[in-house]
Structure 1
Amino acid sequence: MVTDTAGRARPGFLTTLGRAGRALWWFWKGVTGESKYDAYVAHERAAHPDRVPMTAREYWRCVYSEQDANPGARCC
């Protein structure tokens, strides 16, 4: 770890790059909706530990069929 002129520890370039990469990955998962599946799995494991969560493919199939059946305020 690098220190500044006052002797305080400063994160190095690779640490900063790693943080930026993790932030970008977190953002990308939110944009693509992958974080919704992660939240579903976390909920299932916490609230229903006896059930096996749906696979990602099953989850998205269920989400899309629900959207098609109940379009709500969508325009299309």
Structure 2
Amino acid sequence: MKSIKIEVFEGEERDATIKIPVPVLRVAAKLFPRKYLSSLESNDVSLSDIIEAADSPDVSGRLIEFEDHQDNERVVISVC
């Protein structure tokens, strides 16, 4: 079963990992900690677009990776 994985790094250290099966992604998206979603929203990434990509049978691997150099944080979103 495909899942979406969100990894948050502070420096080189992994701070949090969230892994959610695609079938429950729509419901689980409402439960994501706001702290980790704020990075998406501040970069104009729509959670609904991520859900749509994760739902596609043709999509796998890393979808998005972005870095906040001021806070030394990195967020990686992938479909596995």
Structure having the larger proportion of residues in strand: 2
Q: Tell which has more relative contact order, 1 or 2 (C-alpha 8 A, sep 6+).
A: 2
Whichever of the two has the greater Rg, that structure is 1
Structure having the larger proportion of residues in helix: 1
Task: Give the TM-score normalised by the residue count of structure 1.
Answer: 0.27
Task: Give the TM-score normalised by the residue count of structure 2.
Answer: 0.26
